[in-house]
């Protein structure tokens, strides 16, 4: 006997059995209590807004604003079209008034160079008006203005080249001077770096026409130091002369025949004392100016 295959009956849920409810899809909370999909929905634009964005490349916040943007764009286009018509009409009149110029423009449009087009269409000698021609004065004035512009351009180019060469030369000399100055004063690398930075800042300020109190103070000290050194030289020379006179006077006293010297009664100076101008060259001048 053939065994009958038992068909498995799929298990069904017992209607009497309690089932847990299926949770609803979660929605992201927002200020309006709407779902994220509803919030991300694109905002509908009106037809004026779409046209404004196409014509101007900018978005309008409302239909009224879009209409005003389109109106301004149309006004600009209308004005541009009016100016273009005026320019075209002026060019047509100019070309019709000068047939040679019309042919010259045609040659250039066909690929000829300006010189080739001039050679084909215009007699160079005929361009110079003769004496008495109505445009002779204007021609001479225009020619002189062109030559003057050319001279100015050539002079500016020459000065620019000279200025560039001078700056390069000065830069090389300045670098050599800084190196020799640093070596002479036995400056440390940090000091050399600071010196270069201060020089660079000072140069930038001068080029920008900027002067601060530190710059003025530095110039003032330099001016006063020059005066102090000059006075010190004068005082030192005077002290040296006084010392020589005193030595000569004492020598005369030693070699005299016992008669009183002509400058007897004058204050004497101990010859063993070193003269002030020799032992302390800058001392008197510094004390005079209150410098210790």
Q: Give the Cβ contact number of residue 104 at 10 Å.
A: 20
At residue 12, the pLDDT reads 45
**% residues pLDDT > 90 (the chain):** 29
DSSP state of 31: T
At residue 15, the pLDDT reads 45
pLDDT digits (tens, 9 = 90+) for 118-174: 888 888 888 888 888 898 899 899 999 999 999 999 999 999 999 999 999 998 999
This prediction's pTM: 0.35
Q: Euclidean distance between the first and final Cα of the chain, in Å?
A: 138
CA angle 232, 237, 240 (to 5 degrees): 120
- Mean pLDDT, the chain, rounded, equals 76
Spatial contact of 131 and 124, defined as CB atoms under 8 Å apart: no
């Amino acid at each position: 006997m053939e065994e009958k295959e038992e068909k498995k009956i799929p298990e069904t849920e017992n209607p009497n059995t309690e089932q847990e409810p299926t949770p609803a899809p979660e929605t992201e909370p927002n200020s309006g209590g709407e779902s994220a999909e509803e919030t991300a929905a694109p905002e509908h634009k009106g037809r004026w807004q779409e046209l404004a964005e196409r014509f101007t490349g900018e978005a309008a916040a409302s239909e009224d604003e879009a209409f005003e943007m389109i109106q301004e764009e149309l006004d600009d286009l209308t004005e541009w079209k009016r100016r273009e018509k005026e320019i075209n009409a002026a060019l047509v009149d100019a070309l019709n008034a000068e047939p040679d110029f019309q042919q010259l423009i045609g040659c250039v449009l066909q690929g000829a160079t300006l010189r080739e087009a001039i050679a084909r269409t215009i007699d160079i000698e005929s361009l110079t008006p003769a004496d008495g021609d109505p445009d002779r004065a204007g021609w001479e004035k225009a020619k002189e203005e062109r030559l003057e512009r050319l001279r100015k351009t050539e002079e500016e180019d020459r000065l620019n080249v000279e200025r560039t060469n001078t700056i390069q030369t000065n830069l090389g000399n300045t670098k050599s001077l800084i190196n020799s100055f640093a070596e002479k004063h036995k400056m440390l690398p940090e000091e050399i770096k600071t010196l270069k930075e201060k020089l660079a800042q000072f140069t930038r300020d001068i080029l920008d026409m900027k002067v601060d109190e530190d710059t003025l103070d530095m110039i003032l000290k330099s001016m006063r130091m020059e005066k102090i050194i000059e006075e010190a030289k004068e005082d030192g020379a005077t002290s040296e002369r006084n010392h020589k006179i005193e030595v000569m006077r004492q020598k005369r006293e030693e070699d005299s025949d016992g008669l009183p010297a002509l400058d007897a009664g004058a204050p004497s100076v101990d010859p063993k004392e070193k003269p002030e101008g020799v032992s302390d060259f800058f001392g008197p001048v510094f004390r005079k100016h209150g410098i210790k």
